[in-house]
């Protein structure tokens, strides 16, 4: 997984810092700092079928859950 032995990486502080910077760079490139979608506006929530959920549907759901 690491291109060199881990015992040789940590013999030098500078090599350890370079290794740590590489790990951080990899994590940043994988996770990213911003969403990958171009549209940052809030989207309407949908149900399993893909239909949008109205405010009335949400209120009915809260009433049913509170009635349990």
pLDDT tens across 10-34, in order? 788 888 888 899 999 998 888 876 6
Bridge partners, residue 52, by sequence: 46
Confidence of residue 46 (pLDDT cuts 50, 70, 90): confident
pLDDT of residue 2 exceeding 90: no
What is the pTM (predicted TM-score) of this model? 0.41
- C-beta separation of 45 from 52 below 8 A: yes
For residue 39, pLDDT over 70 is answered with: no
Which of 68, 29, 18 has the alpha carbon at shortest distance from 2?
18
């Amino acid at each position: 997984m690491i291109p060199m032995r881990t015992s040789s990486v940590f013999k030098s502080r500078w090599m350890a810092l370079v290794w740590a910077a590489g790990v951080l760079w990899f994590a940043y490139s994988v996770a990213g700092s911003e969403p990958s979608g171009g549209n940052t506006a809030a989207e309407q929530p949908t149900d399993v079928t893909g239909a949008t959920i109205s405010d009335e549907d949400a209120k009915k759901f809260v009433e049913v859950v509170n009635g349990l």
